[in-house]
Amino acid sequence: MSAEKPEHGICRLDLEASGTYGWQVRLQRNGVRFARFFADVSWGGRLPALTRAIQFRDRLLSRLERQDDGRARRHTLPAARNRSGVVGVARVVSIGANGDRYEFWQASWSPEPGVRRRIRFSILRHGDQEAFRLACDARAQGLTGDDPRPAHE
C-alpha cells in the first residue's frame, strides 16, 4: 500500500536547539490522530529513518483503510457540530465590507480527492426553506458527479 504522494503524512524535523533530527509521521482519521517520530540517530541515518517512516505510514494507511467501510459511510452521518442535519450543508452568515449582513445556505462536496466545490443559495432571494432545499439538492447532485450550478451562474 502506498500513499498518493510520497510525502503524504510525513514531514522532516530538524530542530538544532534540541538536537532533534528525523521524520514525523502524522495522520488523522475520524478525529483520531496517529503520530510517530523516526529519529535519524535511532535508525542509522536520514535515509534509513525515512524508509522506516514510509513503511510505518503505509502499514498504518492500509490498516485504516481495512477498518473503513468506504468513503460513503464516513459522509452519511452529520458531525456532532452539524446543526443543519445534512452533511455538507450549512447555514452561513457573512458580513460584507459595507456592514451588510448576508445569509445563505451553502452546499459543499468533494468531487475528487483534493478538490472542494461549493454553491450558495441566498435566503433573502429564495427564503429559508427553499434555499436549504436547493443546497441539499445541489450537494446530492454534486456527489453524483453532475455540476449542480445553474447555467446562468
Q: pLDDT digits over 5-63, tens only? A: 667 899 999 999 999 999 999 988 766 788 899 999 999 999 999 999 999 999 988 88
Query: 79: pLDDT confidence band, cut at 50, 70 and 90?
Result: low
The reported pTM is 0.46
Torsion sign over Cα 93, 98, 100, 106: negative
Burial class (CB in 10 A: 0-12, 13-18, 19+), 121: buried
Rounded to whole angstroms, the Cα distance separating 126 from 120 reads: 11
Kindly report, residue by residue over 129-139, the tens digit of the pLDDT. Answer: 999 999 999 98
Is the pLDDT at 2 greater than 50? The verdict is no
Rounded to whole angstroms, the Cα distance separating 36 from 119 reads: 38
Rounded to whole angstroms, the Cα distance separating 50 from 136 reads: 44
